[in-house]
Amino acid sequence: MGREAPRVPLVLSQKAAESIPSHAARQHKAKTAKIKIEKQEVAMSAILSSQKLRGDPPPCEIPSSFAIDHEEQTLFFNTYNERDQSSEIFSCDLKKKTWKNITKAIRHLPHPIGTPERAQQLPPRYGGTMAYYKMKPSGQRLLLLFGGQVNGLDPDGHGEVSNEMIAIDVDNLRWWVIGIAGGPVVPRVEAHLIIVNDQLFVFGGKERVDEQLETTESYSVASFTNNSWIWDVRDEPYPSHVPALGSSCDAVTIQDGDTQKILLTVGCTDSTKTV
């Protein structure tokens, strides 16, 4: 039998030996990495969380709109019930995590205030849009609903479309039609409504429900001064460099330094760009 070659010991320089982590060092590194991952998971769970809501949630219907009262942490949802051919308003108390259908509790309050009430429910407004507004200095909390098809969903798309503004007092559950000075604006369905300070902006939409109809590429602005509303801008076309925003577009307010701006995102159109 041949003789086994002698084993040569592995000799490392002091620098190379010091570069190899010890078992304890490896354990510490793994523990540190695990803690870092757990902290990231905790941070993400604080941002993204799933919570079960009780009560009477709204149906998943399109089109629909929502508005938020940030101070009271209440979400309001506006949709159209095709079965009953009626508009519906839901509120969600984010503190109690409870949905409630408040539609039937809302009573008609004719304008001017002080005339007899009628137990008349909200008129059907398919494709109407909604925003939340807190009046100053009274603090009255209102939902403002604009436009929509008057007689509900007309399959042929030839129904009458409204250019009225409906106010809902969410504390007293009363609704009425707001008279806005300055002349009429184009009726719209599936537009977007947003309020910045005491100005109300209406963007996009269509003049009818008809899917083949071109969208309304213009905006209107109303302001609230001396306890009354007036249209300051009526159906102004978008600037030439702004692409078509379509119907069911969206709008949010953003802060740019000391200036508050409105970010518009494209709705139902061929364009996919963000303006």
Report the pLDDT value the prediction gives residue 157, as an integer from 0 to 100.
52
**32 inside domain:** no
For range 91-95, the mean pLDDT: 91
Confidence of residue 190 (pLDDT cuts 50, 70, 90): confident
Mean pLDDT of 9-27: 54
Domain that includes residue 73, residue range: 54-237
Rounded distance between C-alpha atoms, residue 27 and residue 23, angstroms = 6
In a domain, 124, yes or no: yes
Q: Is the dihedral of CA 34, 40, 44, 47 positive or negative?
A: positive
In degrees, rounded to 5, the angle at the alpha carbon of residue 63 between the alpha carbons of residues 129 and 80 is 80
Total domains in the chain come to 1
Mean pLDDT across 190-204: 89
**82: CATH:** 2.120.10.80
> Per the domain annotation, does 45 fall within a domain?
no
| pLDDT, average across residues 246-274 | 72
User: What pLDDT is stored for residue 254 in this prediction?
Assistant: 80
| pLDDT band at 12; cut points 50, 70, 90 | very low
Mean residue pLDDT across the chain: 78
- Cβ atoms of 178 and 168 within 8 Å: the answer is no
CA 28 to the chain's CA centroid: 46
35: left (phi over 0), alpha (psi -120 to 50) or beta: alpha
Answer whether residue 207 is part of any domain: yes
What local confidence, expressed as pLDDT, does residue 21 receive? Answer: 58
Structure tokens belonging to residue 247: 């119907």
Angle at 60 between CA 57 and CA 61, to 5 degrees: 125
Higher pLDDT, 175 or 57: 175
pLDDT on residue 206? 78
pLDDT of residue 65: 85
Q: pTM (2 decimals)?
A: 0.74
Looking at the domain assignment, is residue 26 inside a domain?
A: no
